Amino acid sequence: MATIRDIARVTGVSCTTVSNVIHGKDNRVSADTIEKINTAIKELGYIPNMSARSLVSNSSKVIGFVNHVITRKDSNFMEDPFHSASIGAIEQALRENGYYLMLRTIETSEELLAFLRNWNVDGLFFTGIFKDHFFDVLSNLHIPIVLIDSYTNQSSLCNVGLEDFKGSYNITKYLTGRGHRRIAFASPDIKDGGVLQERFLGYKAALTEANIPFDKSLVFVQEMDVASCRLVSEDICRHPDITAVVATADVMAAGIMTGLRERGKRIPDDISVVGFDDISLCQMVTPPLTTVHQDINLKGRLAVNMMLQLLEGNEAEEDHLILPTSLVERESVRSLLT
């Protein structure tokens, strides 16, 4: 592998001059010398040491993505295609701007502080944040931070969120408008002050508007892996009066559909199912899934735009964004109206 010394030998200049050009400190170097050095860098295939560059520039060009959504030990955060798509959008936008993304799941505030001691990251994205001790620690960090889908309502921190309440309300209303009254709600653990609580409240609000009493026995809480979705399907089948299911994520809706079919249920003839997010999986399942659409790519790019403004030492032009949702009607819902 080529070194700075090799480039200096080929170009006939000092190692210090080569180093200055590599690190952008070339105001005292002639244009001809800069061109000669850059040509040698390309021809020799020189790869700069990013650790060394970060010491010089005080920037690692690395942005951390901290996942605080804690799943079961036998599953992982990235199994959900929504998270994969979201992180992919952020990585692409960062890459286009010369930054690298580091992904890490961190459970405790102690782990967060240890992470920051060991890695020189320029900024941090956080997802899965609630008002707790972990949040108290991160809110006091002196580093650019952008939250994603947070309901902590911290004015000093940037956040890109979604119409979670409205999206869930609209799709539940869509079901009640087609004659469904026994509507189940399927979700992972619903914590106070989070995305899932907002979607749960939207579901309840649509029932109230339709004069349908809320029945807590129709709320099924499980994880989104295949085995858990099968358990939800079993529970739903114990309630033969259920005609529709609202799932808080498309991947959970797809898992429930599979479990219901395994138990002889036809979708949507016997039971209707809807999801949330509108990931590509929605058009791959049979029947295609009616769901709530959100623009995952736009959310990622807006989060990166906020981060870039903070990295430049500026305040974000818009530091709290709530993106719209829309209902996408496909073939997983049956109307009960005659």
Tens-binned pLDDT, residue by residue, of the chain (338 aa): 578 888 899 999 998 898 888 767 778 889 889 999 888 888 887 766 544 544 455 678 999 999 887 666 666 777 788 889 999 999 999 999 999 999 998 888 888 888 888 888 999 999 888 888 888 888 888 889 999 999 988 878 899 999 999 999 999 999 999 999 999 999 999 999 999 999 999 999 999 999 999 999 999 999 888 899 999 999 999 999 999 999 999 999 999 999 999 999 999 999 999 999 999 999 999 999 999 999 999 999 999 999 999 998 888 888 899 999 999 999 999 999 97
CATH, domain range 164-294 = 3.40.50.2300
Q: How far is CA 8 from CA 26, 27, 192, in A?
A: 15, 18, 61
Which runs of consecutive H residues, i.e. helices, occur in 141-194? 164-176
Residue 150 identity: S
The predicted structure's pLDDT at residue 47:
63
230-245: burial string, b at 16+ Cβ within 10 Å, e else: bbbbebbbeeeebbbb
Interior angle at CA 221, CA 220 and CA 224, nearest 5: 110
Interior angle at CA 198, CA 193 and CA 204, nearest 5: 130
Model-level pTM? 0.82
Strand arrangement, sheet containing 100-105: 100-105, 62-67, 123-127, 145-148, 158-162, 320-323
Return the CATH superfamily for domain 62-162+296-323. Answer: Response regulator (3.40.50.2300)
The predicted structure's pLDDT at residue 41:
85
Q: Which residue has the tokens 């979700």?
A: 187
Q: How far is CA 279 from CA 163, 168, 184, 252, 311, in A?
A: 16, 16, 22, 12, 31
The predicted structure's pLDDT at residue 46:
75
Residue among 65, 61, 64 nearest 78 (CA): 65
Residue 102 exposure: Cα atoms within 13 Å on the Cβ side: 16
User: What stretch(es) of the chain map to CATH 3.40.50.2300?
Assistant: 62-162+296-323, 164-294
Q: Please report, to the nearest 10 degrees, the dihedral formed by the alpha carbons of residues 245, 250, 255, 260 taken in order.
A: 30
Residues 327, 72: Cα–Cα separation, whole Å: 31
The predicted structure's pLDDT at residue 55:
46
Tell me whether the omega of the peptide bond preceding residue 268 falls within 30 degrees of 0, making it cis.
yes
CATH, domain range 4-48 = 1.10.260.40
